[in-house]
Amino acid sequence: MEQNQEPAISLNSSQKLHLLKRCEYADKLLGDIESILVAAASKSPFPKYKPDISPAQAKVVRDYIARIRAQMVRVLESQGIQPGAPQFGSVHSIRVALGFSEISFDECRPQNMRGYGEVPESIVPELNGLVDEMKGLLARLDGYLAQGAGQDLQLRLDNLQRAGSDVSLVTTLERIINSHGLVEYRPALAHIVSRLESTSFEIAVFGRVSSGKSSLLNHIVQADVLPVGVTPVTAVPTRVVYGPAARAIAWFADRGPEQFEIGRLREFATEQCNPANWKHVTRIVVELPSSRLRDGIVYVDTPGLGSLASAGAAETMAYLPRCDLGVVLIDAGSTLTEDDLSTIRTLYEAGVPAFLLLSKADLLAADDQERVRQYVGSHLRSELGLDLPVHPVSVKPERAELLERWFEGEILPLYDRHMELSRQSLNRKTGALRAEVELALRSRLKHSERTAEADGPRLRTLETDLRRTAGRFADVRVESLRITDEIWQWSDAAIERAAAAIIEAWQQNGAPCSKPETIIAAVLEQTAAQQTSPIAFMLKDLALDSARVLAGTAAELGLQNPPPENELTGVVKEMPRLDTGRLEISVRPGLFGLRMGATQRVQKQIKAQVGRQVAAAFAGYEKMLGAWVRRTFAELQARFDVYADAYRAQLGRLNHGKPGTAEEEETIRRDLAAICAPEPEAAEKNARVPV
């Protein structure tokens, strides 16, 4: 007779839950032990644990932890208990921690530390600079994580190599950048890897707001798809590529991509519908079945330089080195500005050839076209040493042959060679990155061979100077906006001054003025200019000081890429002026003539007739000036940070003058030997278009 099987013995549901929770808590403690092992071996400036555990001991501890966890899982499985699935994503949790870190650094601003005592004025710029520096690094790390797992450059390079691509130099650069912590070069490296994965040839159009970029591209692709007008676009370049059907796709930092009809492009790509890019658009691609987009040709419409959408101007400056060919538009109705020169300079420093187009040429007579064209060419030669032809173009039907002539003569021939041109463009970009990495390694080797006593104090001074200069941006910005916010209060005082000026003119002429509105308008404008002149002075001084500090730091580090002084000072252009509009006014001295309170009587007459108009003009001027201040600061800081961030990274790697070990120096020499190459011929670097 077969014996009955013993019934399985099992815990009840409450007991199972208790066992699960105790195991979870034990696992948390094991995780804490792992964190202790990591912290004890870390290079944190705020160590929590003494490094009194040897690597061999740490290995044994980890092995035991793995065994304990494996046994714990078997115990749970014997009772039919399954550990719960993870509740939080690692990337999400890290980004949340970065957000709290940003808040923590914000609490270090001088105004947030006054509860602990007054902060010395001499320390305020350095503290502000420290906060901005740390927040900038946190933002870059957060941006890197927001791009997802696709940023595994080594995996992507492995895939390219398996596909037969020659990526040996790029792979070597990736290894060196990672092993030496050269994080400032990762964006350029990531772009090179992306271009290796693509067969496209990017032609980007740059220019100031309302220079005609979108109209020109609409004409080239033969479709009215890009928003046209003076409203500046947001901080996102728009790529126009070939597709079997017309559509647009937008990518976002906080959600998945969205496909939409091209007619809705304005909702995502204009400042009017997406102010300050509050929709967090990171990329826009427009697909069109246009024959002029065949075979991988991509056109890029960039945000206008000098726009009130300051983030857009900053994004354009960041995008400049990434394209394969730059087309710079200069408005025929204006002149060559520092923005235009800076764009061309940045393109050529990145090894990107450029065309110059004189847009809206229909506004000029033939003789004027030639005169402006020659002026722009000579200005380029004198300022940049570049001999570039300038092509007048127009999208107006009656003059469109100018644009077509340039397109058919200069751009269409590139189509059949775009694969070769893409390769040449990629080689130039890779060569530029190689040169930057080589310079960084040589500088590190040079300082590694010195003593801490020789370099330490000097390097700390350089770092402090950069930080204090960065901190001045916050101070000057706050003071400039304070002055701006008080402009509206000056309308009554300006009217009072205008009344006094009219009385003075009457006394000098012996009769009432025939056109008092001329005097009034001049006094109002003069008053506004006097009150806002400190803003221009502070900005120019900040730009000069920033250029001086950057140049001095580059010289001390032995770097060869300090910014030209006018690259920073050129950002501070003439401030907008008060515009009162047309004033229609009639004033009389009254019964008592020019005695007994004549100024007060004239003041009342002015206020009664145009007081509201003057108040509205000052209020409008406040908004206009505020936008100008914010844009100028954003652009000036963006240009400063491009250089300062690279210099800070270099200073950090020099380890404050501590001499490197023989092994570290040998590693640097070995890596230098792996990437050293002869300089490219000057002719190729300065070629107008790729050959």
Mean pLDDT across 635-647:
82
Q: What is the CATH number of domain 206-416?
A: 3.40.50.300
DSSP conformation class of 411: I
Instruction: Select the more confidently predicted residue: 312 or 16.
Output: 16
| pLDDT score recorded for residue 689 | 38
Q: Look at the block and give the residue holding tokens 């046994």.
A: 71
Residue 398 predicted with pLDDT over 80:
yes
| pLDDT score recorded for residue 512 | 63
Mean pLDDT across 103-115:
85
Mean pLDDT across 643-653:
79
Q: Look at the block and give the residue holding tokens 């890019």.
A: 277
Residue 452 predicted with pLDDT over 80:
no
Extents of the domains making up the chain: 13-84, 86-148, 206-416, 458-658
CA–CA gap between residue 399 and residue 409 (Å, rounded): 16
Residue 1 predicted with pLDDT over 80:
no
Exposure letters 236-268 (e unless 16+ CB within 10 A, then b) = bbbbbbbbeeeebbbbeeeeeeeeeebeebbbb
CA–CA gap between residue 285 and residue 265 (Å, rounded): 10
Q: Mean pLDDT in the chain?
A: 79
| pLDDT score recorded for residue 657 | 47
Mean pLDDT across 7-12:
66
pLDDT band at 643 (very low <50, low <70, confident <90, very high): confident
CB neighbours (10 Å) of residue 43? 5
| pLDDT score recorded for residue 596 | 55
CA neighbours closer than 13 Å in the CB half-sphere of residue 415: 13
pTM summary value: 0.60
DSSP conformation class of 230: S
Instruction: Enter the tokens of residue 204.
Output: 């980007």
CA–CA gap between residue 207 and residue 301 (Å, rounded): 10
pLDDT in tens, 558-603: 776 677 777 788 778 778 888 888 888 887 765 445 555 677 888 8
Cα dihedral across residues 363, 364, 366, 372: positive or negative? negative
